[in-house]
Structure 1
Amino acid sequence: MALKAQYYKHTLNFRFDAGTSRGVLKNKDSYFIKIFDENTPEIFGLGEAGPLEGLSLDFGNLAENKIQEITNHINSGIYKNLDDLELDLTNFSSVKFALETAILDLKNGGKRKIFSNGFFEKSERIKINGLVWMGNKDFMKKQIVEKLDAGFDTIKLKIGAIDFNEEMELLRYIRKQFSVSEISLRVDANGAFSPVEALDKLKKLSEFEIHSIEQPIKTNQWEEMANLCEKTPVSIALDEELIENFSSKETLLKTIKPQYIILKPSLMGGISGSSEWIKTAESLGIDWWMTSALESNVGLNAICQFAATFKNDLPQGLGTGKLYENNFDSPLEIKSGEIYYNQNTEWNLDYFKTN
């Protein structure tokens, strides 16, 4: 196999101002690597690196330069086969995810098949949560209504940007209409609470029988987070905490003892690194679910197929495919709170064929 590669940068534009506790997102850059045999360039593996500002260790130029470097090395002929491409990318999680995806895709025939499982081959469905972005109260309420009307039975609200009492009102609005047996509620604080106030706020949130809260306080406060996990009336899921401590998996989880962890392969060592997190968590009796990190449908497809390799009935966080005005058309579809791969729908990846 005469390996060749191409590199692409694509700016994804949000359909709306996506509010988080770290600011408002309007667009996001992703970097893609295409790997192919020069004798059959129409058959290619495709992977996406989508680092996030303020979260990814390889954000921006770091990821872009590394993908360019890998592309140049492949084209120089120093790698003779796909197995040679298993590079040490410890501090480049998004690039590792892109490279792993592209390799698996090409090994499976360049059909966007990353793993052989029922999700890709039989259109088996994965249950997902409906994500409600931060914004003013009316904007958030509008999203809640849309998600409920669309048939989601797990709703996730990003909190911490507007007045806490207004956020409580939104939760109360849902609970007045739907019991905990009808709608499961998740909230994501993105570290917005201070350690001093966190437990009190968790007690107030417990009034609404919340399923879980993601990252209530900022990262690297292990003692404070462990104390919260021990006393909390609402299950706590670690998210950002994992990104900065990927080399201390067992120590971190044994110290903090969270109820859940949340895995974003682009931020947590790619597919291989996330598999290690899952193995460690399960050995300690800690549950988990997987989410995308605002990738395009290219990366989202890989994460969905990866998630489907595990037997995990918890709703996953994989409903981000409709976020962008200029995403790539794909067979991924969402119905009644579930995502599946429609084999009767084609990918539109002309962008990677003509550039």
Structure 2
Amino acid sequence: MQIALKKYTLQLAHTFTISRESRDEQDTLIVCLSLNGQTGYGEATSNPYYKITIEGMMAEIEAVRNQIEGYTFDTPENFYEHLESLNLHKFTLCALDLAANDLYGKLKGKPLYELWGTSAEKYPITNYTIGIDTIEKMVAKLQEKPWPLYKIKLGTPDDVAIVRELRKHTDSIFRIDANTAWTAEETIKNAPLLKELGVEFLEQPLKADDWEGMALVKEKSVLPVIADESCIVESDVEQCGGYFHGINIKLTKCGGLTPARRMIKKGRELGLQLMVGCMTESTVGISAIAQLLPQLDYVDMDGAMLLKGDIAKGVEILENGKVIFPKLPGSGIELL
């Protein structure tokens, strides 16, 4: 098996702001794994919140290149066990695992969702994300991209007023993501007002380790609450089960498709609502997420839709939210 590493800087269509940062571009690492004339592609982005750089991930992979290329590839699950023994960071694991899964599907000649025994006939549609900005610019983004379902990033002194103004311009469903910016009291106070404004659920309103606050929110909030920053890896699912109504799984944070599938299984056992989210990836990462769609209740896979230009072909998302799965097997990815 051969490895190739490619670094890209993705340009965003608009400045993207959440409660803790703003950015106009996103660095990303594409891992290419080749075997028997087929190539699988995986992706992981840099992330200042988790102190992840592209150079750091590339250095990790280069340090164990021989152990990876010398591995006799059979299944992504066995390959993942091998990768874990090399003590790689979760983001690095993700890029390699996504590539391995894409490669495996291409070698088998089937899309991953089919290999996993699921059907792509029914699936949730993705939301489209509106980052924090002036109200005028947030309204303009709504009007520029008519969509049936929006995720609104909040974490300002005027959050309810923002949603109230946005509601004047669309009948679409809203989801709210405060990215840990609220207190328990704010969340409980805001929830009924936001519910009246057509909000479906709240994502990670409190700091990731505020379990006491989340216990209060789960008891008193009139809106369901979905974990994000509180649910990073597989071991977090069990704890989140007592404090949230659902979990948002990020492939980069948990280490890829292989652990994400186990998190989905555990979440179902606990009766949690299941969501998979993105990290402003290109179509490489988004196409991997799409393979999980039949197993999910919600999905946030609009990363490639937020870019000025893409670096790959794969899953295509139409204006009504419908997903066109590529004919190519695996995750269906081709680099441009």
TM-score normalised by length of structure 2: 0.85
Shift of 1:241: 0.8
SS at match of 2:218: helix
Checking the alignment, whether the CA contact within 8 Å between 2:92 and 2:255 is kept in structure 1 is: no
Distance in 2 separating the partners of 1:4 and 1:342: 24
Q: Match of 1:247, as an amino acid?
A: S
Deviation at 1:239, TM superposition (A): 0.7
Q: Cα gap change, 1:172/1:8 in structure 2, threshold over 3 Å: closer, same or farther?
A: closer
Q: How does 1:134-145 map to 2 (within 5 A)?
A: 134-145=132-143
Q: Cα distance 1:342–1:172, how it changes in 2: closer, same or farther (>3 A)?
A: same
| Deviation (angstroms), 1:46 | 1.6
SS in 1 for 2:106: coil
Partner of 1:17: 15
* Identity across matched positions, percent: 24
Q: 3-state DSSP class of the match of 2:17?
A: strand
Shift in CA distance, 192/268, structure 1 to aligned 2, threshold 3 Å: same
Distance 1:114 1:240, change over 3 A: farther
**Partner amino acid, structure 2, of 1:325:** K
Ranges in structure 1 where 5+ consecutive residues have no aligned partner: 351-355
Secondary structure at the residue paired with 2:179? Answer: coil
Runs of 4+ with deviation above 4 angstroms: 57-61, 110-114, 121-126
User: Offset at 1:325?
Assistant: 2.8
Q: How far is 1:222 from its partner?
A: 0.6
Structure 2 SS opposite 1:240:
coil
Query: 1:110, 1:323 → 2: CA distance?
Result: 31
Cα offsets for 1:320-348 (capped at 9, x unmatched): 2222234224143222122222449x965
Superposed displacement of residue 18, structure 1: 0.8
Matched AA of 1:225: M
Query: What's the CA shift for 1:122?
Result: 9.2
Q: 1:273 offset after TM fit, Å?
A: 2.0
> Are the equivalent residues in 1 in contact too, given 2:187–2:221 (CA < 8 A)?
no
Q: Aligned letter for 2:58?
A: E
Displacement of 1:190 in angstroms is: 0.6
- 8 A contact 2:257–2:288 mirrored in 1: no
Rg comparison, structure with higher value = 1
Any idea what SS the aligned residue of 1:155 has? strand
Using a 3 Å threshold, how does the CA distance of structure 1 residues 21 and 301 change in structure 2: closer, same or farther? Answer: same
Letter in 1 for 2:94: F
Q: For 1:348 and 1:81, how far apart are their aligned partners in 2? A: 21
Question: 2:270, 2:98 → 1: CA distance?
Answer: 28
Q: Which moved more, 1:233-242 or 1:270-279?
A: 270-279
SS where residue 335 of structure 2 aligns? coil
Q: Please state if 1:197 is matched with 2:186.
A: yes
Deviations 1:87-119 (A, max 9, x none): 216762222222222222222336996504399
User: Matched residue of 1:19: which SS?
Assistant: strand
Q: Give, in whole Å, the separation in 2 of the partners of 1:114 and 1:253.
A: 31
Matched residue of 2:300: which SS?
A: coil
Residue 261 of structure 1 is matched in structure 2 by 247
Measure, in 1, the Cα distance between the counterparts of 2:108 and 2:48.
31
What aligned pairs does 1:50-129 form with structure 2 within 5 A after superposition?
50-54=45-49, 56=50, 58-75=52-69, 77=70, 79-83=71-75, 85-86=79-80, 87-88=83-84, 92-109=89-106, 115-117=112-114, 124=121, 126=123, 127-129=125-127
SS in 2 for 1:47: strand
Aligned length: 325
Q: CA deviation at 1:289?
A: 1.5
Deviation at residue 165 of structure 1 after TM alignment: 4.7
SS of aligned partner of 1:300: helix
Q: Following the alignment from structure 1 to structure 2, what is the Cα–Cα distance between the partners of residues 158 and 197?
A: 15
Letter in 1 for 2:148: D
Change (3 A) 1:282 1:315: closer
Q: Does 1:274 align with 2:284?
A: no
Query: Structure 2: how far apart are the matches of 1:234 and 1:91?
Result: 38
State whether residues 185 and 210 of structure 1, in contact with CA within 8 Å, keep that contact through their aligned partners in structure 2: yes
- CA deviation profile, 1:128-166 (whole Å, cap 9, x unmatched): 212222211111101222333xxx322211111463253
**Paired residue secondary structure (1:217):** coil
**Aligned partner letter, 1:65:** A
Secondary structure class of the residue paired with 2:305: coil
Cα deviation per residue 1:32-80 (whole Å; 9 max; x = unaligned)? 221223xx5x5212211224220x46554442322223434334x3x23
Structure 1 residues 187 and 145, CA gap change in structure 2 (3 angstroms): same
Distance 1:283 1:80, change over 3 A: closer
How much has 1:299 moved relative to structure 2?
A: 1.1
1:225, CA displacement in angstroms?
A: 0.8
CA–CA separation in structure 1 for the residues paired with 2:321 and 2:66: 42
For 2:157 and 2:135, locate their aligned partners in 1 and report how far apart those are by CA, in whole Å: 8
CA distance in 1, matches of 2:38, 2:269: 40
The Cα shift of 1:81 comes to 3.1
